[in-house]
A = this chain, B = another copy of it.
Amino acid sequence: MGQRRVSAGIVVIGDEILSGRTQDINVQQIAQFLTPLGVSVREVRIVADVTAAIGEAVNTLRERCDYVFTTGGIGPTHDDITADAIAEAFGCEIGVRDDARAILERWYEKTGTEITEARLRMARIPHGASLIENPVTGAPGFQIANVFVMAGVPKIVRGMLEDVAPRIEGGAVTYSVSVRLENVREGDIAAELGELQERYEDVSIGSYPWFEDEGEKGLRRGIVLIARSTDKDVLDTLKSQFQAFETS
């Protein structure tokens, strides 16, 4: 494990997320998977089921980040265009591949399911890609260069990440501490917090207000202070400093 900073981009592909019908939870799932590996998510893009939109997002982020993860659009239906869009983005060929087809055949044999032409679409893999195992429904994802192409269903993403983990070369792991303060407002401590950030310039310090409506009892409020760093000792110091805000 080196001490360099390793970054990732995420491309969420799906009209259902953009329309607000479905709440995405893969961004959080992938970010929480990457943190202990020493990889920080740098940017996320959520794009429609449109070839050009997918290609632009993937090509930008694969230049900019060490790794890119995509979710969505690798099923058997007409709106599943991710594999073809990725092939186009990389300028490479795509077709039904024997290894992917064999996985589908074995999977469907167990369940007595007919392999239709539509299902064979899920064996379309760009040339040069390696497969990502799907323990939930069989149909594989794939890795091409630094881009990991996964399903959209969160359960499948979780399974695919297990297969992806050994392929990730992480950097220094970023740790975090958080302190939740009640009846403290950002404006009360902003100056001192800014001074802490200046003193510990290698630490990322964030402040996030919270509100809870307790009906007749009124509104409770406070802030959560978070510090992130690769240095655990510094985080211990900052945790004490954060806690001191509540009693000061």
Contacts and interface: CB of A to CB of B under 8 A. Distances in A.
B45 A43 contact: yes
B40 A228 contact: no
Interface string A1-27: 000000000001001111111111101
A16 B227 CA distance: 10
B206 A15 contact: yes
Interface string A212-236: 0100000000000010100000000
B48 A197 contact: no
Interface stretch (A86-94, A160-168, A184-192): A184-192
B15 A44 contact: no
Contact of A20 (B22, B24, B35, B121): B35
Interface string A175-214: 0101000000111111101100100000011111111010
A152 B27 CA distance: 17
Contacts of A31: 18-20
User: How many copies make up the complex?
Assistant: 2
A206 B152 CA distance: 13
A119 interface: yes
A206 B75 CA distance: 11
Contact of A35 (B19, B30, B41): B19
Contacts of A191: 116-118
A36 B173 CA distance: 44
A111 to B, nearest CB: 10
A178 to B, nearest CB: 8
B19 A194 contact: no
A227 to B, nearest CB: 11
Contacts of A241: none
A83 B187 CA distance: 17
Interface in A112-157: 113, 116-119, 121-122, 136-137, 152-153, 155
Contacts of A44: 12, 17-18, 44-46
B46 A43 contact: yes
A20 B28 contact: yes
A193 B153 CA distance: 20
Contacts of A137: 209, 211
A207 B41 CA distance: 29
